[in-house]
Amino acid sequence: MYLYSAMTDLARETDDQSLLAVCERLWQNLCLQNMYITGGIGPEAANEGFTSNYDLPNETAYAETCAAIGLVFWNQRLLQLACDSRYADVLERALYNGVLSGVSLDGEKFFYENPLASQGGHHRQAWFDCACCPPNLARLFASLGQYIYAQNDHEIVVHLYIQGSASFQIAGQNVRLRQQTRYPWEGSVMFHLDMEQPTSFGLRLRIPGWCHSAKLSVNGEPIELAPRMECGYVKLERLWHPSDRVQLDLDMPVEQVYAHPDVRQDSGQIALQRGPLVYCLEAADHSVPLQRIVMPREATLSSHFEASLLGGVTVITGEGLAADTTGWENALYRKQGPDLKPCALTAIPYYAWDNRQAGQMRVWLPLG
């Protein structure tokens, strides 16, 4: 990832289109055949790298925190070359899942590896003999502001939705842009613009790839998105006035996600995602071992925010099925399968796992 970041920098500095084409081919192979749903990359610990296409084991996933950070670095550089939401989507997926999982909620312990399933023996540590991940996380979080926005001489671009404010020099004016949002828990984002006098410039807002329905308004007046979409961004070009407001609402339902049929480890399974966040089950929330739980095809799933859980998270709840072990006391194998009984499901954001008592975790769930 760091090599690819340098390749992209070099392509930009020298306008080397052949090198840029290589970066695009590598990106396509990585994101379409070798990336975990969490944005983690590198399934193999032995070579700290890749194996073969679609080889994405869950319990033994290496998915080093530093590799996910490198993926963020690379996609941010690709965004500087082309304002294409594909790159911002991958950056966001890695940031909220494969990177953020690398540090505990109290900021004192770290994951080197980020598996997508655990039997309860994988935990964060305070330090490592090869301590690349903790300081790498620290520098990424400290520089997060560099990843939210971009600009050129006549446009401001919003790549990520994170509450805060930023100042820009554009069209000879100092423009202040303030985001007001509870993203990623809610898809509503309000932008407040402020400048000394009316100024003409473009404002690009990313419509994430996970979002299938969005609404936009300026000062309460609805704006049609389709005619203004360009490479995954809605583009607003107008004369802006002090105190103008832009409201973006991103629909954020709970979704069941399937892996490519050639990912053998996830065959016949689904994962849960809401907005940019990938979810998982933890033993702490369930009375049966996680391997017994099956997700019904027509499961009704809902979400709600729990302020007292894991620092405040939106959880996904629903009713699944769990294999009953009654009648298996004297059998390891038998011709009749187990009965399936209703089982309450609670899924938490993947980044927040292993912050309570030790226990099982899994992202992918068998589909019933």
Six-digit token string for 114: 């980020």
Query: Of 59, 108, 132, 230, which is the active-site residue?
Result: 132
**DSSP three-state, residue 302:** strand
Q: Give the pairing type, strands 155-158 and 164-170.
A: unpaired
Six-digit token string for 239: 């004369």
Contacts of the segment 335-340: beta carbons below 8 A, 24+ positions apart: 340/294, 340/368
CB-count exposure of residue 152 (10 Å: 0-12, 13-18, 19+): exposed
d(Cα 112, Cα 58) in Å, to the nearest integer? 15
d(Cα 98, Cα 312) in Å, to the nearest integer? 19
DSSP code at position 99:
I
Q: Is 343 among the catalytic positions?
A: no
Q: 345 - beta bridge partners?
A: 318
Query: Of 24, 31, 44, 48, which is the active-site residue?
Result: 48
Q: Are 208 and 183 in contact (CB under 8 A)?
A: no
d(Cα 277, Cα 321) in Å, to the nearest integer? 24
* Residue from 115, 277, 261 nearest 269 by CA: 261
Secondary element (H or E) of residue 303: strand 301-306
Q: Is 48 among the catalytic positions?
A: yes
Task: Mark 166-178 as b/e (b = at least 16 C-beta within 10 Å).
Answer: eebebeeeebebe
Q: Are 23 and 31 in contact (CB under 8 A)?
A: no
Q: Measure CA of the first residue to CA of the last residue in the chain; give whole Å.
A: 38
- Cα distances from 84 to residues 148, 327, 348, in angstroms, run 14, 56, 30
Supply the residues annotated as catalytic: 48, 132
